[in-house]
Amino acid sequence: MDQAAVETALASTALALVDVTRSFSEGERELHILRGVDFAIQPGEMVALVAPSGTGKSTLLHIAGLLEHPDSGDVYVGGINCAELDDESRTAIRRNDVGFVYQFHHLLPEFTALENIMMPQMIAGLAKSEAAARAQELLDYMRMGERSSHRPSELSGGEQQRVAVARAVANAPRVLLLDEPTGNLDPETAHYVFEALQALVRASGVATLFATHNMEIAGRMDRCVTLKDGHIIPLAL
């Protein structure tokens, strides 16, 4: 398939990695983490990434989220080949089109739940009143509306993660990347956070890549994949 045909095929995907490689040096050894990864997610699709620690999950998420450059290969976000962009353009796409949620929520402790969700919107140029209205709408959707004025220290672990999810989607990204977001939560709270996330994904159409060790949660997504020998392959649960 020629390059024009590839571009056409990828135009409808939210995220695509094409022949992505990444290696690291450890002393005299070369560690080949990703060996030609080919992977795509469609808008509104939820994909679980289930793999043991040390297989390259975080590296894959960092490359997909434009936080890290691959050694070779291409990363497409919304049909745009980000490998061809300068750092300023990559930063703009990462800010506007990609949302991140980590195992630890990384909320700003001095700000309320509402203000934490307003922050990325205001950085993107939205007026304060509009950012506040959007933040409150997201909190209401996550069943956190009555907690909008609370700071992170006043929220439970599950509530903090729901605020983190709302913050990640505040700018209506094309792609949402989650790295073990329920890893620190008890099973009941993890289930509740996933329920809220799933409803938000279905309503917004954001493409979601969810790295997790929780097999029950993984089994509820549209499909599951794993990393083996530096390649992404389907995983049947």
Cα dihedral sign for 85, 87, 93, 98? positive
**How would you write the pLDDT of the chain (237 residues) with one tens digit per residue?**
556 666 666 777 899 999 999 998 877 788 888 999 999 999 999 999 998 877 888 899 999 999 999 999 999 999 899 988 899 999 989 888 998 887 776 899 999 999 999 998 998 889 999 999 999 999 988 888 889 999 999 998 888 888 988 898 888 899 999 988 877 778 887 887 788 888 888 888 899 999 988 888 899 999 999 999 889 998 886
- Report the pLDDT value the prediction gives residue 131, as an integer from 0 to 100: 94
Q: First vs last Cα of the chain: how many Å apart? A: 33
C-alpha distances (whole Å) from 76 to each of 3, 36, 40, 58, 151 are 13, 15, 9, 18, 36
Residues ≥6 apart with Cβ < 8 Å to 187:
216
Distance CA 72, CA 69 (A): 8
User: What's the pTM?
Assistant: 0.86
- Report the pLDDT value the prediction gives residue 5, as an integer from 0 to 100: 61
Two structure tokens written together for 205: 């159409």
- Report the pLDDT value the prediction gives residue 97, as an integer from 0 to 100: 92
Distance CA 194, CA 175 (A): 17
Coil, helix or strand at residue 174: coil
Helices of type H across the chain:
3-10, 57-64, 87-97, 113-123, 128-141, 157-168, 187-204, 215-218
- Report the pLDDT value the prediction gives residue 214, as an integer from 0 to 100: 84
CB 115 within 8 A of CB 80: no
Distance CA 80, CA 84 (A): 9
Amino acid symbol at 84: E
- Report the pLDDT value the prediction gives residue 127, as an integer from 0 to 100: 95
